[in-house]
Amino acid sequence: MSTEYSVRYATHPDDYRGYDTETLRKHYLIDKLFEADKILLTYTHYERLIVGGVMPVSGPVPLETIDALKADHFLHRRELGAINIGGAGKITIDGTEYEVSYREAMYIGAGDKTVTFASVDGDKPAKFYINSAPAHHAFPDRKVGMQDADAMHMGASETCNERTINKLLVNSVVETCQLQMGLTEFHPGSVWNTMPAHVHDRRMEAYFYFELPEDQAVCHFMGPKEETRHLWMANEQAVVSPPWSMHCGVGTSSYVFIWGMAGENLDYGDMDFCQPHEIR
């Protein structure tokens, strides 16, 4: 079997207050997402979101069901989003092949039975970062490129948070049940993402950091705004953010990050902001 998975359980904010660094990393950090010819998955109890990565090298890698789903096939009651951060790749869905290049996204709807991930050149493998959420309706599969993104400019150079938010798998671009994904890139000199930070109690969120130099790091902040904690993260790592937690980060160098959300609504702007002077 080419699929490996682990499970993360939901935690109460009262418990979180007593966590040391090791415990924080155990519950919220996903430190490895890519291994040659494998699918590495983390099944979370936050909106049942699955976070994972696929790196096909020697041949196509199938999307297999896992015991946690109790389903004959992975997408029996799920939708899935994949964004390629590596070399040119291909995703084949029930016999239909889609070419998915660097920074292109693929929405895969509920009910599809066979999905395989492949690289065009195994020496330059594709790396598909994936999020999957439960789905009550089958929407059509669709490839979404950066040219299709609902792009939004935010922040300013004076506050080191000038960035472009590329909304890829959102309801203004493609129909989904509850999954939303996008990619945020920074303007020169900016390193703060999602600042001011926010909380959305109606949704959980996961961040995936990449294009970060190997000798650099991102400091990711989380928790209620009155009692925050931080996680130091390396390139190609992800972090799970509970609905009660704010989320933002700052890098020691330039980087890019992918955000994914699942929850009660599809209103991207449904956020309760935490202004910098309010954070403790």
Q: What is the pLDDT of residue 267?
A: 79
Classify residue 139 by its DSSP letter.
Answer: P
Task: Encode the chain (280 residues) as per-residue pLDDT tens digits.
Answer: 689 999 999 999 999 999 999 999 999 999 999 999 999 999 999 999 999 999 999 999 999 999 999 999 999 999 999 999 999 999 999 999 999 999 999 999 999 999 999 999 999 999 999 999 999 999 999 999 999 999 999 999 999 999 999 999 999 999 999 999 999 999 999 999 988 888 888 999 999 999 999 999 999 999 999 999 999 999 999 999 999 999 999 999 999 999 999 998 887 877 787 788 888 9
CATH number at residue 250: 2.60.120.10
Could you tell me if residue 29 is inside a domain?
A: no
Q: How many CB atoms lie within 10 A of CB 121?
A: 11
Encoding tokens for residue 13? 């904010």
Q: Are residues 174 and 76 in the same domain?
A: no
The pTM of this model reads 0.96
* pLDDT value at residue 131: 98
Residue 23: inside a domain, yes or no? no
Clarify whether residues 168 and 119 are in a common domain.
no
Q: 7 and 133: one domain?
A: yes
Peptide bond into 134 cis (omega under 30): no
CB burial of residue 26 (10 Å; 0-12, 13-18, 19+)? exposed
Domain's final residue, options 96, 113, 146 = 146
- The tokens for 115 are 């999905």
Q: Decide: residue 172, CB within 10 A, 0-12 exposed, 13-18 middle, 19+ buried.
A: exposed
19 assigned to some structural domain: no
CA neighbor of 79 nearest in space, from 175, 205, 208: 175
> Are 81 and 115 members of one domain?
yes
Q: Is 17 inside a domain boundary?
A: no
pLDDT at 276: 81
One domain for residues 97 and 207 = no
Please tell me whether residues 189 and 135 are part of one structural domain: no
- Give the pLDDT of residue 1: 67
Q: What is the spatial distance between Cα 36 and Cα 59, in angstroms, rounded to a whole number?
A: 10
CATH number at residue 57: 2.60.120.520
From first CA to last CA, the distance across the chain in angstroms is 46
Return the pLDDT at 273.
78
Per the structure, the complete domain to which residue 198 belongs is given by 149-278
Question: Cα–Cα distance between 86 and 108 in angstroms, integer?
Answer: 19
Q: Quick one: 202 exposed, middle or buried, by C-beta within 10 A (0-12, 13-18, 19+)? A: middle
Residues whose CB is less than 8 angstroms from the CB of residue 14 and which lie 6 or more positions away in sequence, other chains included: none
Show which of 146, 173, 199 is a domain's final residue.
146
Query: Is 135 in the same domain as 239?
Result: no
Q: Are residues 157 and 140 in the same domain?
A: no
Counted domains in the chain: 2
Alpha-carbon gap, residue 70 to 68, rounded angstroms: 6
